[in-house]
Structure 1
Amino acid sequence: MNSPTADRPPFSIVIVNYNYAAFLPQAVDSALAQTLPGCEVIVVDDRSTDDSRDVMRSYGERIVALYRPENGGMSAAVNTGFTRSSGRVVLFLDADDYLYPHAAERMAAAAVDGVAQVQARLHLVDVAGRIEDVFPALEVGFDRGDVTAALRARGRYSTTVTSGLAFSRAALERIMPIPERAFDRSADGYLAAVAPLHGRVAGIEEPVGAYRRHDANHSGFGANMAKRARWRVDHDEHRYSAMREHGDMGAGWSPGLSDATHVEQRLASLCFDRAQHPYARDRRGALGLAGARAAFAGTTSLKRRATNAGLFLLAGFAPAPVARRSLAWKLERSSRPRVVDWLAGRLRRLMG
């Protein structure tokens, strides 16, 4: 799978862009600078209204430039790029992120026969590119190999975001195109959920690129906690539906309250806007208990599982203002006072 042929490059990097002209050159330059010979670089513009198209044209024939006639969302752009790609391994790079020169080489080497998805850590950087952390955090272990048992049990496994994921073409041809309406803002939510149902997962510990945190992207999804939480629980339902379609999950399968991340978002939705919460029967205490049980069933260290369980119980049974504050600090880093953010980082490392 890793040896190139005359008609198929070893690796395709598909850059998905919408109004990221300020960041796009760094993403494109990083793709063009890969040490793996023969990489294909495709840039898809999802009908930007800034100077993105001028940036793309400046690269001439060094890239394959695709201009969508209308804005269709992230998954529509990913589908467009995949249709044009031909690499044996494909990575979808967000235009505000960037890769290190060895990324394609490392990921292609890991994509041996039977591997559907390669996942690698990324450096978490600010708008200026200053490194703040590693994502996922080093103390959070990647799941590897056959992760279907984890998917069946709790609907997710330890993985990363779009720019740290590469997929074998064989797996992508079985799961593409992405349902565009259900996953309009989160292509990785679909890809990382269903690709491992068609092969193994390989992991790379050394960061292969940078994941940029800023207010305009999904990692800084906004100040409205309830709206964000409702979007995420709805997104989980779409993920569960996609997994039922691609895996032997059973018609009524839904991990729901066994999925600690899902429970956390349901708590946030309930605490911040009960009137619009989509699950009428949810109660804070019941969700707190369910989250604590799900946290203890995780695969992290005992200390970390106990800490997470304690946070669920706090959100479930503390007075409502305390519960809301604890959830906000847990889910939205920008909401924390600086000293709390520092203490959270120290505690996270101690609990690893």
Structure 2
Amino acid sequence: MREKQKKIKEKVVLFPGVVEKLVAKGMEALKQKSFSDAFSFFDQALQIEPDHPQARFGLALSLIEQARLEEAKEVTEQMLKEDVGNYYDILQVHISLLVQLGEYDEVVTMLEGIMTEEKLPANLAESFYHLLHFSRQMVDDGTQVEIDIDIKQPPEEVLNMLYNGTVEKQWLAIQMLGKLPASVFMETVKQYLMTDQFDPVLKSIILQQLKEKNVIGDIEIHKFGKVIHINISELEDVYHEEFGQNTIKLVAEQLENDNPSLFEVVTQLWWHYLFAIYPISPEPLQPSLWAAAVHRTGIEMAGIDFDDYNLANKYNVDKEEMVVCSEGILKIENETYKGIT
């Protein structure tokens, strides 16, 4: 062991910056979905520099992608204890792991303690609140379902959660079903995607998982009164990323410096809207119009006085079109699931 450590130290001297190169390779492997390669790069980096924050976090992410959740939980738990890396990024992943592993008591204990002692960032507070509420429900209900990743047919309890449970239990069922082979997952969720009554955001989560699993084939989705037929391989990796970013840039010019807290709220509102309607595109694809609309929705929700004509003029868009788009965003915000996305 000492000889191995000596060799590692010699490498550090001979090859300065090797850790950063390994971490960069690990991050690139994650993007390319080469998760075992990513794990190898991060592991090599940690052999040289055991406390490297990004390497440890990357190791956790690569373990998650390989469905090695218990191991990933150990990594994030240790990072939180040692205060290594970005606390809130790690906390988010750790809480998500606890939920996926069904350790709801631990989620409740952690979140109750955190919410009592700390002022959470605005972008996390609502999500953590919903997770806490969801975990309390699961503890009270005594819900505990294990799922075998090699089975050909999901357990009846999970199917019942998906098709008859509360929106929180549907979300949990989707997370559990996502561990199954791609073909089994695909067959299980087909009817869910085709049923109007189910939440559009949860359908978007399913579409993301289908894309990540590299499922090949066409699928039918019912959303907002529309029937969409799409080839899964043609789905965007990130929903309307370029259009969404261009829209937010225009909002930033109006809000980021003058009212950063409102800008943060509007940003969340915008990405939630795009995620809810995915894979439908906003119409028309005019960033200035949607920037004005989401700005209007944000200040209306915040109870701030505004004048439609002045706001439309700021973005050089038609007032009536802005109002219609804004009302559409608000409707979706009020009617779709916002707890865990």
Q: Normalising by structure 2, what TM-score?
A: 0.30
More helix by share: 2
Q: Which has the larger radius of gyration?
A: 2
Q: Normalising by structure 1, what TM-score?
A: 0.30
